[in-house]
Amino acid sequence: MQIEAGFREIKQEIGSAETQTRNPDAVTNHLNFCMAATAITWIYGAHLEHAPPRRYSTTKRTEYAFADLRRRLA
């Protein structure tokens, strides 16, 4: 389940599905940059003293979502 969530983050939050490139090397480069941006964002989140506020809080989860972290960066 975590792997699927990670790919969903890369596609929806970072924008890997919105590439306009047609060259296979350019598509690979775009995906690599999207994955690097995701990794850097999570590393940033791991070094925060306090978790960012959850946009959609639930009682079942205490973790924050990638979108919460991205919104904090913005």
Residue 15: per-residue pLDDT: 73
Residue 1: per-residue pLDDT: 55
31: exposed, middle or buried (C-beta count within 10 Å: 0-12, 13-18, 19+)?
middle
pLDDT digits (tens, 9 = 90+) for 23-60: 889 888 888 888 888 888 888 888 888 877 777 777 67
Residue 5: per-residue pLDDT: 74
pTM score above 0.85: no
Higher per-residue pLDDT: 45 or 62: 45
Domain of 48, in residue numbers: 2-73
Query: Would you mind telling me the total number of residues written for the chain in this entry?
Result: 74
User: What is the total count of domains within the chain?
Assistant: 1
Q: 41 and 70 in contact (C-beta within 8 Å)?
A: yes
